[in-house]
Amino acid sequence: MEDIFANLRTNSPQQEVAQTSATRTLQNEQDNDEQQIVHGSYAFEKMMLTYVQNGQAEKLRDALSGGINIKAGEMAKDELRQAKNAGICGATVASRAAIEGGLDSTVAFGLSDLYIQKFEALKDFGSIAQLTNDMFIDFAQRVQLVKYGAAEDAYFFKECARYIAAHITSALSTSVVANALHISRSYLCAKFKAETGTTLSRYIQQEKAQEAKRLLRHTDKSLSQIAMHLAYSSQSHFQNAFKEATGETPMRYRRGRY
């Protein structure tokens, strides 16, 4: 898995220096964590698979919005083969993450086979990089639909999911989301429940918990730092909300992952 994104980026000396610097910043400071995770790094790839498994399509799209650095000019035949192999490996691990997230295994493996065929048919590096992005987002969207029971044309769910993903580190509530979307709170909550079968407040709580899980796994942030990062009123508020959403305390979750 380490080479999926690494094989889809330019490795100039300047970029290697930038990658080393960014990785060091991630390890030592852990501030602005998503911006510090470098494309091609193990941490970045783990984050991508976490988003797929959680069905966090908007978070994944935001993380990939900068695009993958691609090589210019004519490529040697073996390099193109290597890029295709990286994409094929990505299809395999993305399908597994999607299955862990609740996607039917038959659907996941069928989708993986389809993307593998697409990778084999491509003739240039840029197309492979773009297909890799599209593939991960596709898997995440399918898991998202399974988790929340929303139809593909579920307008209110998608609008809420998009806003919440973009503002996950802000103080969120049903009123905040409704105001941002210029819709009455009662109407939005009713439509969201009708589209997904769950409440908007619970969805917000679950998304906050998923982001907290990622921080607990992949950073050294303390519980108080995570609480502040995710705009909880206090560490105790964060701990109580996390336990309600996941069934275990943040510290127990972190210890269980090491």
- CATH number of the domain encompassing residue 174: 1.10.10.60
Identify the CATH number of the domain in which residue 25 sits: 1.20.120
Is 47 within 8 Å of 35 (Cβ atoms)? no
- Same domain as 19, residue 130: yes
Please return the burial class of 140, using the count of CB atoms within 10 Å of its CB with bins 0-12, 13-18 and 19+: buried
Q: What is the pLDDT of residues 203-218, one digit of tens each?
A: 999 999 989 998 998 8
Contacts of 24 by beta carbon, 8 Å cutoff, 6+ apart: none
- Same domain as 111, residue 182: no
Q: What pLDDT does 27 receive?
A: 42
Q: What pLDDT does 7 receive?
A: 52
- Same domain as 190, residue 242: yes
Q: Residue 39: is its pLDDT beyond 60? A: no
- Same domain as 27, residue 55: yes
How far apart are alpha carbons 241 and 105 in whole angstroms?
A: 31
- Where does a domain end: 148, 176, 210? 148
For residues 219 and 16, the model is more confident at 219
- Same domain as 169, residue 42: no
- Same domain as 133, residue 26: yes
- Same domain as 78, residue 7: yes
Total count of domains within the chain: 2
Q: What is the pLDDT of residues 57-86, one digit of tens each?
A: 888 888 887 655 444 344 445 888 888 998
- Same domain as 94, residue 196: no
For residue 173, the enclosing domain spans 155-256
Mean pLDDT, residues 154-177 taken together = 91
